[in-house]
Amino acid sequence: MPEAFGFFLLLMSNGVLIGLMYSLIALGFVLVYKATDALNFAQGEFVMIAGFVAAAFLGVYGAPLWLAVAAGLAGMIGFGFGLERVVLRRLIGRPIIAVVMATIGLAAILRGVGPLTWGAETKPLPLPIRDEPFVWGPLFIPPIQLVGAAVSIGFLVAFGWFFLKSRKGIAMRAVADSQQVAMATGINVERYFALAWAMTGIVSALGGIIWGSLIGVDVFLALVGFKVFPVVILGGLDSIPGAILGGLIIGIVENVAAGYLDPYVGGGTKDFAPYVVMILALMFRPYGIFGKKIIERV
């Protein structure tokens, strides 16, 4: 196999696995948007807090891994329920911009609370996964990326089924279309708001554990949320298949760009390449590949 082609396959394979891990975080955006028709700009901070909780249970409290994972999941589910009950429930029926601004403020608060509570130093989040990569020909695949991709696929399929086939999922879609109409038909909007934020907590906990194991846990873990933003714009804010495809495209683009362009520009290509794709998507298909096209008359 030619060396150039092997290098290309290596970049593509790593891009696919990282893209699937992006898709898991993007699912948090999609869940909230489907239920509330608003963006959660604190998604990255949710991931960061989940990572801090799991890392604290492992490193500070000496808990076993299963307890650290359970604490991360339970903590983020409880946080999602509490956030909806205390803050967001008061915003039901108000303009969407009120929810958006609330999540922006929440993101700023969490960026301070995380380091203040657990310290600013980077904390390891070791998982019982081998460090040596799997080698298949020209491919070098880190096991943590394989595990992260597998977990992402499993939960993306599960949540896709939930929204398409279950009664609760269909009700959540109805709430997103119109809160007032949903309430008029007897749907408990408050309950489905809480369910959406709790499900986002689950996704954030899984993402925080996987990404925390990959890059460590500190305040910069929240930047994963910003890296994922081009994914949801490209795939469509309300589309689970779009989150998958958008994640794959962004993961491949940033890895291929870094592999071929970094030697010429001195690095950093993968930090801005996703946003170039996002801007192009906004120019030519602003509602995303699978997003719902909305036409408003003014």
The pLDDT tens digits for 20-79 are 999 989 988 888 887 777 788 888 899 999 999 999 888 777 788 889 889 989 999 998
Q: Which pLDDT value is given to residue 241?
A: 86
Q: Which stretch, 6-15, 93-102, 137-146, has highest mean pLDDT?
A: 6-15
Boundaries of every domain in the chain: 3-284
Measure the CA–CA gap between 107 and 204, rounded to whole angstroms.
14
Average pLDDT, the chain: 84
Report the candidate in 51, 13, 47 with the shortest Cα–Cα distance to residue 226. 47
Between 206 and 298, residue with greater pLDDT: 206
Helix, strand or coil, per DSSP, at residue 50: helix
- The model's pLDDT over 197-218, given as tens digits with 9 standing for 90+, comes to 888 889 999 999 999 888 888 8
Contact by Cβ (8 Å): 96, 38: yes
Q: Region 277-291: what's the mean pLDDT?
A: 84
Q: Which pLDDT value is given to residue 296?
A: 46
- The model's pLDDT over 154-173, given as tens digits with 9 standing for 90+, comes to 888 888 888 788 888 888 77
- DSSP class of residue 57? I
Q: Which pLDDT value is given to residue 145?
A: 87
Residue range 3-284, CATH number: 1.10.3470
Residue 178 predicted with pLDDT over 50:
yes
Residue 297 predicted with pLDDT over 50:
no
Q: Region 218-235: what's the mean pLDDT?
A: 88
Torsion, CA 200, CA 160, CA 145, CA 46, rounded to 10: -10
Q: Which pLDDT value is given to residue 93?
A: 66
- Residues of the chain with pLDDT > 90, as a percent, come to 13
Report the candidate in 30, 57, 54 with the shortest Cα–Cα distance to residue 43. 30
Q: Which helix H or strand E contains 141, and what residues bound it?
A: strand 139-141
Reported pTM = 0.88
Torsion, CA 259, CA 262, CA 263, CA 265, rounded to 10: 160
- The model's pLDDT over 254-272, given as tens digits with 9 standing for 90+, comes to 999 988 888 888 778 888 8
Q: Which pLDDT value is given to residue 2?
A: 67
Between 214 and 3, residue with greater pLDDT: 214
- The model's pLDDT over 77-135, given as tens digits with 9 standing for 90+, comes to 998 888 888 877 777 667 778 878 888 898 999 988 888 888 888 888 888 888 787 88
Contact by Cβ (8 Å): 57, 126: no
Q: Which pLDDT value is given to residue 294?
A: 57
